[in-house]
């Protein structure tokens, strides 16, 4: 069963550039992971501190491996307290 993910990340204004750098660094390695169908990063046009990932995975197992990957783990450590609020992640299955 394919899994879709929408993840919202908001940087503090003074850390926007560093957070963006980390998030951009996720894209290349993630797209090479087994089970990754789509992994796109967006930045809000009205509030540049807001970022969104839209993802599609072949399975929950592939998503789980992604969340434990070295680049994601290292990026989370770099981001640390640079976010304005906790990341909001929705994991869903497409029904139509």
List pLDDT tens digits, range 34-60.
Answer: 999 999 999 999 999 999 999 999 999
Sequence spans of domains, the chain: 3-92
Q: Give the global pTM.
A: 0.95
| Residues 6 or more apart whose Cβ sits within 8 Å of residue 9 | 19, 23, 50, 51, 52, 53, 83, 87
CATH 3.30.70.100 fits 3-92, yes or no: yes
Q: What is the pLDDT of residues 64-84, one digit of tens each?
A: 999 999 999 999 999 989 999
Rounded to whole angstroms, the Cα distance separating 16 from 84 reads: 10
């Amino acid at each position: 069963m394919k899994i879709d993910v929408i993840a919202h990340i908001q940087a503090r204004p003074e850390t926007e550039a560093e957070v963006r750098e980390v998030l951009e660094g996720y894209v290349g390695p993630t797209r090479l992971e087994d089970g990754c169908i789509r992994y796109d990063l967006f930045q809000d046009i009205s509030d540049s501190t807001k970022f969104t990932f839209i993802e599609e995975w072949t399975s929950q197992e592939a998503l789980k491996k992604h969340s434990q990957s070295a680049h994601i783990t290292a990026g989370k450590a770099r981001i640390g307290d640079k976010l304005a609020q906790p990341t909001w992640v929705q994991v869903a299955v497409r029904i139509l």
